[in-house]
Amino acid sequence: MSTDTWEHSPAGLYKRFEFKDFDEAWAFFTKVAAVANRHNHHPRWENEWNVVYIWLITHESADTITSKDIELANAIDTIDV
């Protein structure tokens, strides 16, 4: 498992994704939602026009980064837009 492109932050694993426009960012947002549901693990995220910000942390483990977060981060990294 690798989270090389994800940063460790106080709010969890963090990554910023930038797209060419809002439509492409929203398409990614929708795909992440489906992947998160399959993993039964849901991110904190924000969207600002062509940018999507995602934080992953496991609340039921005292707000720590767990394998659940790493697995979802890896799955998100495989999403093709």
Domains and CATH numbers, the chain: 7-77 (3.30.1360.20)
Provide the token pair at 26. 């929203």
What pLDDT score does 81 carry? 78
C-alpha to C-alpha distance for 66 and 52, rounded to whole angstroms: 22
Is residue 3 very low, low, confident or very high in pLDDT (cuts 50, 70, 90)? very low
Q: Does residue 4 register a pLDDT over 70?
A: no
C-alpha to C-alpha distance for 72 and 3, rounded to whole angstroms: 10
Is residue 70 very low, low, confident or very high in pLDDT (cuts 50, 70, 90)? very high
Strand-pairing partners, residue 54, are 15, 45
Q: Does residue 52 register a pLDDT over 70?
A: yes
More confident residue, 5 or 36: 36
